[in-house]
Chain A
Amino acid sequence: MLRILRTTSFRFTLIYVVLFSGAVAALGAYLYSATFGEAAKQTDAVIEGEIAVLADLFSSSGPGMLTRVIRGRTAWADDSIYMLIGAPSGAVLAGNLTALPPEALTAEGDFFNFKFERSIFDAAGEEVIQQREARGKFMRFRSSPEAEQSYLIVVARDVASRQFLRNRSQSVVTRIALVTIAFGVVIGLLFSRALLRRVEVVNKTARAIRGGDLSQRIPETGAGDELDHLSTNLNAMLDQIERLMAGMRDVSDNIAHDLRSPLTRIRNRLSDALEQDAEAKDKALRATIDDSERMLATFNALLSIARIQSGEGAGAMEVTDLVAIVEEMAELYEPAAQEAGFDIILITAPTPPVKGSRELVSQAVANFLDNALKYAAGGKRIELKVQPAKYGGAILSVSDDGPGVDVKDRDRILERFVRLEESRSTPGNGLGLSLVAAIARAHGATLRFEDGLANADSSGSKKGLRIVMEFPVFAG
């Protein structure tokens, strides 16, 4: 609950409620002055008028006439209140008040409010004493300027009903205000809770990830709102992090796996050599140097892969002509291929340039050719081909007519240190194609394996292997 109160959306709602209540209060105040204020002024005007009429009557016709008029006016039980008190006697001559209200004397000549009791008859004919409120004016009339005694007169209007209405509307306005505020708070709470629940989903995912489960993702509602966009972006970020983490883990696993055995071998060989003669020691040392060099090569290959994967080693990506690259590589490898019994067949078509690094693409081609020479044993041809891709971009492929790679193994050979059973005996660290995969990714290129060149004298089992690297359309 406390958390809801602290949410941004709840705070916004509160601010809104306060502003809205202020507006309601201002509106109420205006309505009040426009209705009740006006009505009160009117009442006062009526009283003033009545007093003027009575004063006129008094001076022209005397107290007797006044008494009669007042009696006539108070004969009906409406909200008019009069009281006339005789000059010398002090007796009430006419009117419907039993006693002079004490407020009258203090506010002489001015308007005053007072309470009085009035007996009315209810529906059943019973007499009921009612507390009423009234507003009136108290004046003195003299029969002549030199008369010592003056008649006292009170003219008032019963305002109880209006007061009641006013109280009533005040309480209604108050209630409306309270309900509005309560509503606002509740809606704020609901909004905040809904928002909090969605944010909580993100937090929960974040906690799970912090707890070590990197596979967690924020569920996307598909609403397409800003929170959904946030989730999508966060998920994309998490994907990237997971990929990098996986890469790191792979590297450390692989290093542990692939370097532990040569290290163990070195240690064992050296400890054996300790107890042997000089010649055996020399031999052990030389073998150790060879092992160390292989390990260094493995390390360098791993670092290169990591650097290319992180985008760091990608170097300067520039306009690169694949045809020129394969021509140069064919020229570089031709003698070595000849010696191994292969013909390099170069097939190029005019191909749009790609965005890439000559060094890295050349290295990838070198790895393809190294592999072909190493693993396409018994083959005779290596076909190096560059052609435009169907929908823009360029395709570079290297095909051989060797034994090929089983379809089920084709994905695996891109992984680090994976060496198929058939090739365990040949030298190599199993990193060549991983490096190629990293280079392909750095270029946005896709990598796939297909059947290679059909072997003329094969029984069908030798399908060869074609490695296809497809580069995206050059954009800027």
Chain B
Amino acid sequence: MRILLVEDDAEAAAYAAKGLRGAGHVVDHALDGEAGLNMAAAGDYDAYVIDRMLPKMDGLSLLSQRRVDSDDTPALFLSALGEVDDRVSGLKAGGDDYLVKPYAFPELLARVEALGRRRLAPANVTTRYVVGDLELDVITRTIRRASKKIDLQPREFRLLEYLMRHAGQVVTRTMLLENVWEYHFDPQTNVIDVHISRLRSKIDKGFDKPLLKTVRGAGYTLSDED
């Protein structure tokens, strides 16, 4: 993926860029809002990572301007603020995701990759997901693994649907909490882990190959590969 990182804090930018490059992405870095806008207009990127507070032009204006020029490259805002209102204003300005600083790098990586993937498989609305021998039908709300029907609670269904939509990607606990439960705070209890292990016992138990895997220090991934 080609990623444009617009961040005025050189050290934070170096940390993020190093990590993203380490994960195999190409990263261009702009130090202020105007430079970021010019680079975004000139280059062809798969994702933008934009700090909210930037010299010369703030992140919201930068992205709004790109959206006016019908640039639909997915964008993630970074912000040191990070309460609900900021998130809402970020999304209104055309942002696709929002991450509060300080963040753990795996969280950033997982979210940026989720954004990029969304672009590769765009609007053609999928109603049926398949990972290995696991199938999920959104319309009939049925799940089968190796032709065997699996019954899930509504929330477990949403959880699995989200995981399958992001199959092969790392999905963090915070991403699950935000997208499946719509909460933007982190409970101190490992509530997500227990939900995952319940889901795992329903879709993996009794089958040879586990599909739902834990990624240490980052989150979970649903994948057919080893």
Contact = CB atoms under 8 A, between A and B. Distances in A.
Contacts of B194: 335-336, 338-339
Contacts of B183: 332, 359, 362-363, 366
A78 B102 CA distance: 116
A137 B155 CA distance: 126
Interface in A329-373: 331-333, 335-336, 338-339, 357, 359, 362-363, 366-367, 369-370, 373
A296 B198 CA distance: 30
B11 interface: no
A434 to B, nearest CB: 14
A373 B198 contact: no
A316 interface: yes
Interface in A269-314: 293, 296, 300, 304, 307, 312-313
Interface in B179-205: 181, 183-185, 187-191, 193-195, 197-198
A291 B18 CA distance: 23
B155 A366 contact: no
Interface string B62-85: 000000000000000000001111
Given A332-B181, A335-B194, A359-B184, A315 B189 contact: no
Given A336-B194, A339-B194, A357-B84, A328 B181 contact: yes
Size category of the B interface is 20 to 34
Contact of B83 (A304, A332, A373): A304
B195 A359 contact: no
A331 B184 CA distance: 17
Contacts of A374: 188-189
Q: Which of B102, B188, B197 has the most CB of A within 10 A?
A: B188
B185 A333 contact: no
Contacts, number: 61
B185 A359 contact: yes
Contact of B189 (A331, A362, A370): A370
Interface in B131-149: none
A452 interface: no
Interface string A4-32: 00000000000000000000000000000
A312 B88 CA distance: 14
Given A296-B102, A331-B155, A359-B183, A313 B188 contact: no
Nearest to A363: B185
Nearest to B100: A300
B51 to A, nearest CB: 18
B59 to A, nearest CB: 20
A335 B83 contact: no
Interface of B: 82-85, 88, 100, 102, 104, 155, 181, 183-185, 187-191, 193-195, 197-198
25 contacts: A293-B104, A300-B82, A300-B100, A304-B83, A307-B83, A312-B83, A313-B85, A315-B83, A315-B85, A316-B85, A332-B183, A332-B187, A333-B189, A335-B195, A335-B198, A336-B191, A336-B193, A359-B84, A362-B183, A363-B185, A366-B183, A366-B185, A373-B189, A428-B188, A432-B188
